[in-house]
Structure 1
Amino acid sequence: MSENDNLQDADGKKEVESIETTPTPKTTENVEIVSDSEPSEKTEEHPEKITGKTEVVADTKSATNQASEEVSNTAAKVETENNDSDANTVTEAEAEISAATQTPKDDLVDEIEASNAEDAEDESNAERHEVEEKDYHAMSMQELATELNRLLKHHKIQTISKNVNEIKSEFNAKFSELLDEKKEEFVEEGGNEIDFYYTNDTKKLFNALYKDYKQSIGAYYKEREQNLKSNLDNRLQIIEDIKGLLSVEENMGTTYKTFKELQDKWRNAGPIPRDKYNNAWNTYHHHVERFYDFLHLNNDLRDMDFKHNYDQKLKIIERAEELAQDENTNRSFRELQVLHKLWKEELGPVGKEHREAIWERFSNATKAIHDKRQAYYADMDKAHEKNLERKEEIIAKIVNIANDQANSHSAWQKKIKEIEALRDAFFKAGKVPIKVNEATWTKFKEAVRTFNRGKNKFYKELKKDQYDNLKKKKELIQIAEDHKDSEDFKKVTPMMKKIQNDWKKIGHVPRRDSDKIWKQFKKACNHYFDRMHAERKAQDRHLYDAFDKKVKLLEALKTLELSDDPKANIETLKSRISEWKEIGHVPQNKRYIDGKFYKAIDDAFDKLKMDKSKLEMIKFDSKLENLANPDDTRLLDNEYNFIKKRMSEIKSDINQLENNLQFFSNVKSDNPLVKDVHKNIANHKKELDTWKKKLSKVRGMYS
């Protein structure tokens, strides 16, 4: 059935003038072409494709001008032919032209025409495809607000509706999740659910940006609705003017020129409401065909017109066949829509012998693109299924972490980081099938919410413990402040040291109080101990004076230059030792200086050139003087035990060496190995004698 079968002439049963002139009011929703779901490449990347389209239009206009000139030259002949022709000729021409505009229908063509009707409502529709579509699901709330701001600044308002709606949906979902978390925390902290309110700067920014978008898009559609109505009225008037040409009694050349002018006005009349698009175009084509029938163009002129249309449609077919090889299915389909629009709106009929063949060829190319596009969406569905599997795995991991209850702050912090990483992975995992999108999102939110409940419960209990700890530490602060000015150092000092140890054993307190109470406690303790140290320093002034003298004596010993006379040097070093002992005791915390002094004395003795055993005993005598303390024999006891142990080790070594000699019973005494063993035994015995003398001196120190 022809597209125009429902449009009959004035003698028929239906009236073409029944087209409504008032456009249906448009809402601001669902104004984008829904056939494209992926970001599109800009047209500038493929200039050769645009060239093909323009060439078709340009050739069409060229043929129109040529036809106009030929009609002007043959107007008289046409008039004569009109007078001679019979009714059968008119009927045949009408049937041929009507069939030439006929378009076989299937689901794909319906989809293309519906999309073109939508595009016809907005001539800037091509710009929609220049808006880059990003993975909004993987963006944070701040990133979504930034992206919305970018779209508002850099794109026409009518081209971003689809993007804005997706951004809004993702932002609301993420903010809803955050809102649930904050609400749970509020209630768990003792708040009333009725009193809960939460917002943040990102939410305020997004609301302001979305309000700007709604105002701008509303103003745009209000203005466009008026333009669409005006353009529809103009197009209906053009149809009426073409109908009126059939009753004009003037030169056919003039009438034909008027007809071509009306066609140009039609092409430039601007967009009209989408629901009026197909009806208006079919009505227009119907009356254009009636005009051609009325005109009775001669066969040469009609054949020339048919040939031009045939050539241009072949170009469209060739371009469609090229598109069928393009891997970018969405881009191919968008251009295919343009080709169908050119086929329908710019070109007329072709010769009867070519009509079925070229339409079949065009349909095959169209079907190839459609099949490829369906395969692309099938692959996309598979990818979405894989994304679903990945998200299910992530949700399962979150559930496992939520069920594994930790009992320490560090463990919960580790789990929080793991959950954050899983949340990011979930958002970056890509889209899932639409039918399970809401259910998957709900499962994810519930898993995260379960984790947050466990986390909040732990920290709520931890906070209770922290407040108990805060109370305990404030009690210690009170004790420290009550005794910081005490003069009874003997009694208070042990107590102050005890509360310092108790402080360390008490656990964490709320963070906002931690620094404050620590500074308060530290100040009170420092005040007491500074007073105590000052008091003791005053009492032990003579000890500090002794320390200062020993420091000077130690520095002098380090720079002491010894003579070549060992005995004189020994006397010098002994005198330094006697001088050191005469200075007396130093403060307890300064006694390390004695060790430094005797280390320096040992180093000085090592520089003397004398028998090592004698030197060893001289050094030991100076060491014993340092160990002598009638009130504390621990150092002397340690030295006694060390000497006994060392003597036992030497005796063991001597026994081992003597046992080894038994293996050399058949070896001469001058054998190098035997001589070496005897030498080692002699050295060990000599060393043992030295240690025996040291032991004797230590015993003498006890008496």
Structure 2
Amino acid sequence: MVNEEANEIKQQQAANPQEEIDATTAQVLELAENTEAETTDVHTVDYSTFQKNDFVELLSKLLDDVKEQPSVAAFRKSEDVLKEVRPLFEQFKTAERAEALAKFKEANDGSEDGFEFKFDETIEKFDKLFKALKEERAKYFNQIEKERDKNFSQKTELLNRLRAIVEGEDNTDPAQIKAGFAEFKKIQDEWKSAGNINSPHNNTLWQTYHALVDRFYSNRSIYFELLELDRKRNLQHKIELCSKIEKIAEAAKSDTVTGKVLDEAVAIFEEYKHIGPAPKEENELIWTRVKEALDVIYGKRREQLETQKAESEQVYTLKSSIAELVETFANFTTESISEWNERTKALLALQDQWNNVKGFMPKEKGKELSDKFWGNIKAFFKNKGEFFRQLEGKREENLKAKVAIIEQVEALLTSGDDSQDATNSVIQLQKAFREVGHVPEKDKDNIYERFKKACDSFFDAKRAKNQNIEKEFEANLAKKVALCEQIEAEAVEGADTSKLAEFKAQWASIGFVPKKDMQSIGKRYISAINKYVSAMGKLSGKEREQLALQTEVDILKSRGDFSPRELGKKENDIRRKIQQIENDISLYKNNLEFFAKSKNADKLRVDVEAKIKKAEQDLAHFKHQLKVIREAEK
């Protein structure tokens, strides 16, 4: 009878072989590792745009996270982040030290002797956080190692105690059998509470433990009834745990299997593994139920991972197409500010498209693509910054050149010299000022106002000292009026071509007129010349237009207030008017097409056609003015 019961115990133990449990455990751990890897690869952050304070906040948050919820995954994530951000932060430190050294050398004739440098509070805080993260990690893994060593020592001691019971117990002494059984149950409880050890010895410990347990039960013929009762209790416990796993499996059919759900299933299965033997037939049935439920959970999880993989490939494909477009910007260069601005708008639009593609990419190639994408953007803005730095340098040179011209005018003003030579010098300086290129935007208005004030002051002072000049200006005005009357009188059909140059020479030889009459007499002269040119029969229309244009340019250049800034403002105003008129004409023409399809719209059509004619006349007038200004700017 004793031998039969012993055989039954061995058969029931074989019904739940350790090899099958260990295989399932390996499956659980493998999927958990995949889940952990996937979980850690959820965000790709571009740290290249971070400032020092951003890095400090990042490390502070990492430190809080690992302190609040320390885990292998948390420390692995923190280590990955540290590896990525440390080189970037070191660039700040290197740059600041290099900048401080450069300033020190500049102040000390290029010598580095005595140079000392201390990083600012932000960098020191970063280094402290970095060190704290490393210390937390070392402390955590040292604790794990100590726990492993402790668990190994504890399980080894339990095996020695169990072996002492199995090998040293007297099966004929009921008191000793009872005491040994109590000690055995105590060892079982302590074995269950002892943590796992991830080492090559783990499997050996388990095999030794189960072998000793089998031997113990084989030697306990008198306690088979207690063993059977224990099996029934084990069965009841396994049924309860099986029901929990089946409930999770049922929910997994319709819900998402998150990492938390999977961890819960793994924890229940770990508890199931540590329950002792159950009756053979029931044990096989309950084990089948557990395995089927786990298969449902793991199957659903694998489906989710496959779906996520397909989605990540789709995201990668979309972002690859955007990255290819951005790649063309990396080596872009031009001398035009407007082209830089247009390309910048286009690049920012592509960046918005990239950011609007939601979802994750495959870890390795996704990181490579992201690095390439942001690297090309950085290259574009680096080239743009270099262009504007050079442009700003040129404008600074122009500013110095204009300041030097202004100082010459101011020096003539201070000297009180109002001779013709001084006047000619100021006029030449005005011309030189106009020929100098643009200055920094912030100085443009101030430098022009200073120049204009100096020139105005010079000529005002000259006028104040020479009141008789005004009379001369009035006389000049009378001469120019007489010349205009002569030109107008001789502007008849077949006018002499050779006299045109004579008229222009006479006009040029006449000096300044009062400022208030400059524009009116200039317009009359232009009108007279145009009338005379029209009367010249031997010229083509294009030649007449060119002569008229040159006349207007001569008048414009003869004015004392001529300047590139004023021409630029006038040119911009005319361009805006031309644009507005062209838009109006386009709108009027669209209205005409609408009226053509409408009945009783004749009056409206006539009004619109009149507006178009007037607008076209205005357009021709402003385009002519634009030609004059362009010719004057040459």
Shift of 1:499: 4.2
Would the aligned equivalents of 2:10 and 2:214 in 1 still touch at CA under 8 Å?
yes
C-alpha separation in 1, matches of 2:88 and 2:309: 24
Say if 2:299 is the partner of 1:371: yes
Which residue number corresponds to residue 280 of structure 1?
Answer: 205
Partner SS state of residue 431, structure 1: coil
Partner SS state of residue 234, structure 1: helix
Say if 2:405 is the partner of 1:480: no
Shift of 1:403: 6.3
Q: CA RMSD in A?
A: 4.7
Q: What aligned pairs does 1:10-159 form with structure 2 within 5 A after superposition?
A: 86-87=2-3, 89-100=5-16, 102=18, 104=20, 109-113=25-29, 135-137=43-45, 141-142=50-51, 143=54, 145-156=56-67, 158-159=70-71
Which residue number corresponds to residue 236 of structure 2?
Answer: 311
C-alpha separation in 1, matches of 2:293 and 2:66: 34
Q: Sequence identity, in percent?
A: 22
Q: What aligned pairs does 1:481-630 form with structure 2 within 5 A after superposition?
A: 481-489=410-418, 491=420, 492=422, 496=426, 499=429, 503=433, 506-509=436-439, 515=443, 526=453, 529-530=456-457, 533=460
Say if 2:260 is the partner of 1:331: yes
C-alpha separation in 2, matches of 1:390 and 1:315: 49
Which residue number corresponds to residue 238 of structure 1?
Answer: 158
Partner SS state of residue 104, structure 1: helix
Q: TM-score, normalised by structure 1?
A: 0.52
Partner SS state of residue 348, structure 1: coil
**Change in CA separation of 1:132 and 1:385 when aligned onto 2, cut-off 3 Å:** closer
Shift of 1:338: 0.7
C-alpha separation in 1, matches of 2:432 and 2:368: 54
Which residue number corresponds to residue 359 of structure 1?
Answer: 287
C-alpha separation in 2, matches of 1:530 and 1:285: 110
Would the aligned equivalents of 1:384 and 1:432 in 2 still touch at CA under 8 Å?
yes
Which residue number corresponds to residue 217 of structure 2?
Answer: 292
Which residue number corresponds to residue 161 of structure 1?
Answer: 75
Shift of 1:366: 1.0
- The one-letter code of the counterpart of 1:436 is K
Would the aligned equivalents of 2:398 and 2:439 in 1 still touch at CA under 8 Å?
yes
Q: What aligned pairs does 1:214-293 form with structure 2 within 5 A after superposition?
A: 214-246=134-166, 247-249=168-170, 250-270=175-195, 272-293=197-218
Shift of 1:378: 0.9
- The structure whose RCO (Cα within 8 Å, separation 6+) is larger is 1
**Change in CA separation of 1:274 and 1:413 when aligned onto 2, cut-off 3 Å:** farther
C-alpha separation in 2, matches of 1:338 and 1:632: 98
Higher helix share: 2
Match of 1:393 among 321, 325, 328: 321
Partner SS state of residue 437, structure 2: coil
Would the aligned equivalents of 1:394 and 1:422 in 2 still touch at CA under 8 Å?
yes
**Change in CA separation of 1:213 and 1:237 when aligned onto 2, cut-off 3 Å:** same
Partner SS state of residue 276, structure 2: coil
Shift of 1:440: 2.0
1:179-209 residue CA offsets vs partner (Å, 9 max, x unmatched) = 9x99xxxxxxxxxxxxxxxx99988765543
C-alpha separation in 2, matches of 1:439 and 1:133: 14
C-alpha separation in 2, matches of 1:220 and 1:365: 35
Partner SS state of residue 155, structure 1: helix
**Change in CA separation of 1:235 and 1:297 when aligned onto 2, cut-off 3 Å:** same
Would the aligned equivalents of 1:136 and 1:166 in 2 still touch at CA under 8 Å?
no
Q: Size of the alignment, in residue pairs?
A: 435
**Change in CA separation of 1:402 and 1:115 when aligned onto 2, cut-off 3 Å:** closer
C-alpha separation in 2, matches of 1:632 and 1:268: 107
Q: What aligned pairs does 1:609-688 form with structure 2 within 5 A after superposition?
A: none
Q: TM-score, normalised by structure 2?
A: 0.57
Would the aligned equivalents of 1:136 and 1:144 in 2 still touch at CA under 8 Å?
no
Shift of 1:158: 3.7
Which residue number corresponds to residue 382 of structure 1?
Answer: 310
Shift of 1:361: 1.7
Unmatched 5+ residue regions in structure 1?
1-84, 119-127, 183-198, 544-584, 586-630, 642-703
**Change in CA separation of 1:355 and 1:110 when aligned onto 2, cut-off 3 Å:** same
Shift of 1:485: 0.6
C-alpha separation in 2, matches of 1:489 and 1:294: 131
Unmatched 5+ residue regions in structure 2?
97-118, 475-516, 528-634
Which residue number corresponds to residue 612 of structure 1?
Answer: none
Shift of 1:358: 1.8
Shift of 1:422: 4.0
**Change in CA separation of 1:201 and 1:497 when aligned onto 2, cut-off 3 Å:** farther
Would the aligned equivalents of 1:137 and 1:427 in 2 still touch at CA under 8 Å?
no
